[in-house]
């Protein structure tokens, strides 16, 4: 078993067939050859614009979608249809919307206890209830909340219920799909800090999907930047933030607000021209070239691959910025 990496994703592809005319089907390339790895207890932040394929990566990794191609390895073992039910005890997901991801007909106790029921993780009802109450305490919910229904809670509390449900099987890895984007800003920090505390207590690893670069830098050990189904830059969080190499990453970081008016006035905001191309009709070569001010003929002819720029920092561009 390869113990260095908990999760390894190799050339993962997820194409969705779209009917575009009479008997005509075009593949929408939501994820097109994504590779990365996550060590035990590590957080990899996955960022990019809406529609770039971040959520699809997370769902395909857990086989909520059947992958079109590529491999996912967990603790050195390939994830397949045959072993996914057993591996679900080790890999879980926290969904983006706490309003639609919880069953309104179930009490909090039953929502959190459902994964335990599926995997038979208790000997009797008393042990089941004890585990549920312990999980509720872990995520900051009171014991008297156990008999209530999801609609009786605020967004932040609902997300805590979703996190407790993911932790119910004691997983080693959790996909966090934009877990704070639907919450008020005042609640976001509380939930992010809770994720960090849980990681310290339980040693769980995260794939943290988000579009807020400030949150991602705060919680992540490494950051991967996606554009139109492909990773264009990946490296240590501080390294990517302080020394971005890809023009797309540079433009994203230029839009991150700085709580200093003087620095904000001095900084140049890089506004990308044009719209994001359709994943059904990707440009030839580099997918970003239609919006890139450094694009040349080579960018149209050849697709760049991730190249090592030093310090474990990789970027896919023919014109890397220093």
Local confidence pLDDT in tens for the 322 residues of the chain: 546 899 999 999 999 999 888 888 888 999 999 999 999 999 999 999 888 999 999 999 999 999 999 999 999 999 999 999 899 999 999 998 888 889 999 999 999 999 999 999 899 999 999 999 999 999 999 999 999 999 999 989 999 999 999 999 999 999 999 998 888 888 898 999 999 999 999 999 999 999 888 899 999 999 999 999 999 999 999 999 999 999 999 998 887 777 666 666 666 667 777 778 888 888 999 999 999 988 899 999 999 999 999 889 999 999 887 6
Alpha-carbon span 265 to 112, nearest angstrom: 48
Which tokens in the block code for residue 208? 């943290």
Alpha-carbon span 29 to 33, nearest angstrom: 10
Q: Is the Cβ–Cβ distance between 255 and 264 less than 8 Å?
A: no
Q: Is the Cβ–Cβ distance between 226 and 47 less than 8 Å?
A: yes
Please name the residues in contact with 49: beta carbons below 8 A apart, sequence gap of 6 or more. Answer: 211, 227, 276
Q: Which domains does the chain have, with CATH numbers?
A: 7-90+173-186+201-315 (3.40.50.300), 102-170 (no CATH)
Strands annotated E in 48-178: 69-74, 77-78, 91-94, 173-177
Report angle CA 62, 63, 65 to the nearest 5 degrees: 125
Query: Between the CA of residue 122 and those of 76, 113, 291, what are the distances in Å?
Result: 28, 10, 55
Query: Between the CA of residue 2 and those of 58, 76, 88, 291, what are the distances in Å?
Result: 22, 5, 19, 40
- What does the pLDDT read at residue 131? 94
Q: Of 247, 318, 320, 316, nearest to 34 (Cα)?
A: 316
- What does the pLDDT read at residue 74? 96
| pTM (2 d.p.) | 0.91
In the sheet that holds 24-38, the strands lie side by side as 24-38, 7-21, 69-74, 77-78
- What does the pLDDT read at residue 270? 75
């Amino acid at each position: 078993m390869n113990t260095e990496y908990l999760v390894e994703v190799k050339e993962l592809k997820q194409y969705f067939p779209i009917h575009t005319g009479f008997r005509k089907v075009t593949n929408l390339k939501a994820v097109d050859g994504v590779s990365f790895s996550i060590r035990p207890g590590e957080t990899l932040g996955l960022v990019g614009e809406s529609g770039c394929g971040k959520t699809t990566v997370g769902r395909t990794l857990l086989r909520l979608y059947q992958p079109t191609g590529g491999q996912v390895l967990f603790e050195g073992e390939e994830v397949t249809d045959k072993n996914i039910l057993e591996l679900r005890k080790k890999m879980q997901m926290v969904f983006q919307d706490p309003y639609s991801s919880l069953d309104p007909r179930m009490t909090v106790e039953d929502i959190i206890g459902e994964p335990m029921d599926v995997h038979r993780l208790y000997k009797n009802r008393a042990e089941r209830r004890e585990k549920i109450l312990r999980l509720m305490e872990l995520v900051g919910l009171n014991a008297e909340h156990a008999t209530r229904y999801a609609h009786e809670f605020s967004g932040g509390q609902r997300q805590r219920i979703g996190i407790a449900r993911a932790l119910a099987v004691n997983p080693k890895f959790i996909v966090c799909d934009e877990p704070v984007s639907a919450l008020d800003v005042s609640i976001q920090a509380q939930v992010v800090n809770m994720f960090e505390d849980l990681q310290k207590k339980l040693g769980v690893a995260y794939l943290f999907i988000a579009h807020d670069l400030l949150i991602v830098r705060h919680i992540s050990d490494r950051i991967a930047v996606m554009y139109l189904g492909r990773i264009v830059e990946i490296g240590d969080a501080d390294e990517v933030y302080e020394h971005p190499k890809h023009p797309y990453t540079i433009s994203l970081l230029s839009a991150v607000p700085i709580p200093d008016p003087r620095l904000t006035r001095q900084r140049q905001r890089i506004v990308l021209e044009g719209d994001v191309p359709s994943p059904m009709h990707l440009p030839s070569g580099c997918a970003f070239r239609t919006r890139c001010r450094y694009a040349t003929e080579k960018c149209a002819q050849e697709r760049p691959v991730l190249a090592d720029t030093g310090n474990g920092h990789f970027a896919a561009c023919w014109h890397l910025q220093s």
